[in-house]
Structure 1
Amino acid sequence: MDSEDDEKPRRLTRAEAKARTRRRLLDAAARVFARKGYAGASVEEIAEAAGYSIGALYSNFGGKEELFLELVADGARARVERGRQTLDAVQDGTEDPESALGRFFMEAADKDDDLPLLQAELWLYAMRNPQLREPLAAAQREPRAALEGLMEPVLARVGASGAVPASDVATVASAMFQGLLRQRRLDPPSVPDDLLRQAMRWLFVGIAHTSDPLPEEPS
């Protein structure tokens, strides 16, 4: 029979408690920023949504701007990890590249309802604050590099490896996905699941054709 002490939950270490507080503050910030935008959100509201005092927020973040930048970086790290797991599935042979790429985008589309709002807010914030464009852009480069790794095996399958830079394809695919995701949130029936997957197929079919040598013009 378990003793009473065995039934008591383990107390979090100081580092674990701090990490949990930061996680809850970031999750609350994502919701508040998505709902009210950067300008409309207040640190008081974010702290309240997370269930903490304003002092707890300032003990973890220097203010609203630092919290927003960390939220961007945190989202980037999560996308990199999903990209790495997807690429591992391709390299292990457990999933073909096209299916893996479609799954990567579908999971991103369905994982977080706030994603298109946060992406739009990020773009607006960067445009209105030129001094922060580079830090915000830098946070997006690692996820795009992870996506680039997914493009390589797909380009090879359509016979376009080396003909088109994978980095360019990753940029186009990311922009196309963001646009479709915003349209999906605005008018869900216009962008069903199949369209998100089909859009990737159209992209690579087009790449395969444009990478073929152009026919000679008749003399």
Structure 2
Amino acid sequence: MPSRAETQERNRRALIAAAIDLIAAQGYRAATVEAIAAKANLTTGAVYSAFGGKRELFLAAVEHCRSEQALDLTGDTPAAVLSSYGAAMAAIGSTSDARRLFRFELELAPLMLHDPVFAERLDADPIIAALAEALGGTADAERVAMSATALARGLLQQWLLRDAEVDVALVTTACASLAGLLELVGPGGL
């Protein structure tokens, strides 16, 4: 028989998966606590017990999605690091689950713009932080990391919207080309 902690963790995972599925399929407004609990075959009390409410559940769902996108950033030069980042993002975008995660992310974007708690908790994107660190950890490296992330996500979104196959070579090359920005840094930075 599973322990109480194991049951709670199983319930958390089920609720997070249900929230992601419902938000991706029907939108944020349709993803009520009741609908999420029903999809997870749990009670609304389980949602409140595990997360305290809808906002905390959605934050946990976003953090779960981000943790699933762990990247192996390798390379001896900024161009090589950015190229490996582009290839990793293209691989994520090529998965069968990419469309669902893309819709989930887009549904929650307005919350990040209008809800200060969401904005504060989600401001530090671990992908950008890891990429910036791999590029040298400077403020300029962070700007290049943000640019590469915006570029890669934008390209992936366009392919997913068109239901087209991701062009791995293009994403990889486009991200690697941003290494030149680090070379342009002068006394005042980028």
Query: CA contact under 8 A between 1:101 and 1:150: conserved in structure 2?
Result: no
1:144-172 per-position Cα deviation (integer Å, ceiling 9, x unaligned): 211223334xxxxxxxx98x821111100
Report the Cα distance in structure 1 between the residues aligned to 2:171 and 2:83, rounded to whole angstroms: 12
Deviations 1:175-213 (A, max 9, x none): 111211210111143852322222223333x4377469x
More deviation in 48-57 or 178-187?
48-57
Alignment of 1:173 with 2:157, yes or no, is no
- Whole-Å separation in 1 of the counterparts to 2:127 and 2:182: 25
Secondary structure of 1:41's aligned partner: coil
Residue in 2 aligned with 1:116? 102
In 1, Cα distance between equivalents of 2:152 and 2:123: 18
Structure 1: 5+ residue stretches without partners: 1-10, 153-160, 213-219
Give the Cα separation in 1 of the matches to 2:82 and 2:127: 18
Residue identity opposite 2:142 in structure 1: S
Cα distance change on mapping 1:99 and 1:209 into 2, 3 Å? closer
Deviation at 1:122, TM superposition (A): 2.5
1:62 to 48, 52, 55: 52
Q: Tell me: CA distance 1:100–1:41, structure 2 relative to 1, closer, same or farther (3 Å).
A: same
* TM-score when normalising by structure 2: 0.78
Is the partner of 1:165 in helix, strand or coil?
helix
Q: Deviations over 1:64-97 (max 9, x none)?
A: 1121112122233344xx23xx14x658xxxx64
Say which is worse superposed, 33-42 or 193-202, in terms of deviation: 193-202
- Distance, in Å, in 1 between the alignment partners of 2:142 and 2:127 is 11
Q: Which residue of 2 aligns with 1:19?
A: 9
User: Mapping of 1:5-154 within 5 angstroms?
Assistant: 11-79=1-69, 82-83=70-71, 86-87=72-73, 90=75, 97=81, 100-111=84-95, 112-113=97-98, 114-138=100-124, 140=125, 142-152=126-136
**For residues 16 and 130 of structure 1, what CA distance do their matches in structure 2 show?**
33
- What percentage of aligned pairs have identical amino acids? 33
Greater RCO, 1 or 2 (C-alpha within 8 Å, sep 6+)? 2
Runs of 4+ with deviation above 6 angstroms: none
Q: How many residues are treated as equivalent by the alignment?
A: 181
- Larger radius of gyration between Structure 1 and Structure 2: 1
- Structure 1: distance between partners of 2:127 and 2:82: 18
Out of 189, 197, 213, the position equivalent to 2:172 is: 197
Separation (CA, whole Å) in 1 of partners of 2:108 and 2:145: 19
Where structure 2 has 5 or more consecutive residues not aligned to the other structure, the ranges are none
